[in-house]
Structure 1
């Protein structure tokens, strides 16, 4: 019996994409990294083409990235993978599950409906309502519905005054009509990523903020470090990822004054944090998991 042919959907040349493709090639002899922005879906014959390959003829597809930035078009790219699924290709994680995660609000509502603790959150189109909430909280983080690595996020403080807040919110609404605000909490300079494969906990890593940054992302000068989440944190992360039915998930958790809170669940997080922070080879583990599923 021939080995399964599994493609990696990702960003060619990027570390997490390439190490997963390497791991699959070592195990199967087949290697294909496909960029969804360069695919063509021909619905007249039910074929999804990338560089001469019909992705609907593969055994499996592992989705790592759907572009360099998240935007509404990312959802449309994932919709095309549903045609491959219909043709019998096993997609890790399923496209419909991934779509629920790309939009920050969809992710937040799912977490809320599963009683997962999060920072206090307000979503509104009303600038007056947003200002009143910022005044009550003292400070807030304004977040785009589509973003990665804290790009586009903005801190707003009550002591800036209502006039300044109104100006900032009006400017923000020209790019993001729906205002998504979370109360700013004291991260104490760090948060954690807890990693799961098919709901099984794989390990965790910490992100330590840079000296001049309010957030912990590597993009803003943060660094990775090892960590050992306590039982309460692990339980919350386990419940958070279970709400989405993912093959691979990273749960971003911070420790607040009231206990652990979840910022988001991601199925497209990179492998470098776990590798650098805690020495976990997620590419090998995910490749082994996908092959076991296809051989089952």
Structure 2
């Protein structure tokens, strides 16, 4: 199998780990970035190449790229070059990936499929934020596009001058924020789904000031976490959420509050870089085995 792995960056740990596992199993693997995807001259006109090799030479492309940062329009055009090559499936194609990368589209689709998500207000100015405070009192604001908890803030004291100043800075940076009620909880659950199976479940021991698994500072490690066997209702919810998004694999972020399980988001690029190497080998192998089965089922 000739496998292409589209990564955020060439050294992205999960992509490197998957590539290493696939290579150990005898596969030919190339890790590349979106900037390595080019439109090139071909015998009949124009073809897609990856580092100069025609896309048609690959058996499958695994997408682990980041669409949460600019330049979004250029990234989409580069991604589109990978889509539609006969006999070269993309896991996952752009329409599927982008519907999950966009938190607005993701929340809408999950709601339509009956998946419990937080009520959400799109904020484009301070008046919108005041409306969120009026409705919920304690809120969380986050970028409409983002990852790893960057610029996700919990505002518990109402529309104070300090809170509005912080929110205004975030609006200037991102233009659009999503505001949701803060759901008091202890513990965040990350469920990794591959195909129709739950591969693993991690419980991040969030509480108090450590209220989110990742601080937002990429240099900081996540809060303490444990691997658990998820209860049946959590597994069923995660599977339903990934199925609703039409993803072949996804990381489902879930909290349990007084109202029960709530899906915070479904990540089309689940990560496990914070895991110990011996732990990370497990999802690396399962991803490769999943891709092998997908290719076998297509032949």
**In structure 2, what is the Cα distance between the partners aligned to 1:223 and 1:46?**
50
Task: Say which is worse superposed, 230-239 or 123-132, in terms of deviation.
Answer: 123-132
Aligned CA distance change for structure 1 residues 283 and 174 (closer, same or farther; 3 Å): same
What residue number does 1:23 align with?
21
User: Do the aligned partners of 1:225 and 1:276 also contact (CA within 8 Å) in 2?
Assistant: no
TM-score (norm 1): 0.86
Q: Distance in 2 between matches of 1:232 and 1:293?
A: 27
Residue 279 (structure 1) shift: 6.8
**Aligned 8 A contact 1:199 1:238 in 2:** yes
Residue in structure 2 matched with residue 13 of structure 1 by the alignment: 11
Which residue of 2 is the match for residue 55 of structure 1? Answer: 55
Structure 2 SS opposite 1:21? helix
Q: Please identify, of 224-233 and 192-201, the stretch whose mean Cα deviation from structure 2 is larger.
A: 224-233
Q: CA deviation at 1:156?
A: 2.2
Aligned to 2:83: 85
Aligned: 1:242 with 2:259:
no
Contact kept, 8 Å, 2:36 with 2:50, in 1: the verdict is: yes
SS in 1 for 2:180: strand
Pairing of 1:201-280 with structure 2 (within 5 A): 201-209=198-206, 212-217=209-214, 219=218, 220=220, 221-272=222-273
Structure 1 residues 275 and 76, CA gap change in structure 2 (3 angstroms): farther
**Contact 1:19/1:283 (8 A) holds in 2:** yes
Report the CA distance shift for 1:90/1:167 in structure 2 as closer, same or farther (over 3 A). same
Q: For residue 134 of structure 1, what is the aligned residue in structure 2? A: 133
Note the C-alpha offset of 1:260.
0.5
Residue 116 of structure 2 corresponds to which residue in structure 1?
117
Report deviation, 1:196: 1.3
Q: Report the equivalent of 2:285.
A: 284
Residue aligned with 1:225, SS? strand
The alpha carbon displacement at 1:34 in A equals: 0.6
Equivalent of 1:198 in 192, 195, 198:
195
Is the CA contact (8 Å cut-off) linking 1:191 and 1:206 kept in structure 2? yes
Which region of structure 1 is more displaced relative to structure 2, 9-18 or 36-45? 36-45
Deviations 1:224-271 (A, max 9, x none): 311232222222212111111111111111111110100100120113
SS in 2 for 1:149: coil
SS in 1 for 2:262: strand
Matched with 1:143 is 142
Q: How far, CA to CA, are the matches of 2:82 and 2:184 in structure 1? A: 44
Residue correspondences, number: 289
Equivalences for residues 64-103 of structure 1 within 5 A: 64-66=64-66, 70-74=68-72, 76-88=74-86, 89-103=88-102
For residues 94 and 112 of structure 1, the distance between their equivalents in structure 2, rounded to whole angstroms, comes to 22
Q: Which runs of 5+ in 2 are unaligned?
A: none
Q: Is the 8 A contact 1:6 1:30 kept in 2?
A: yes
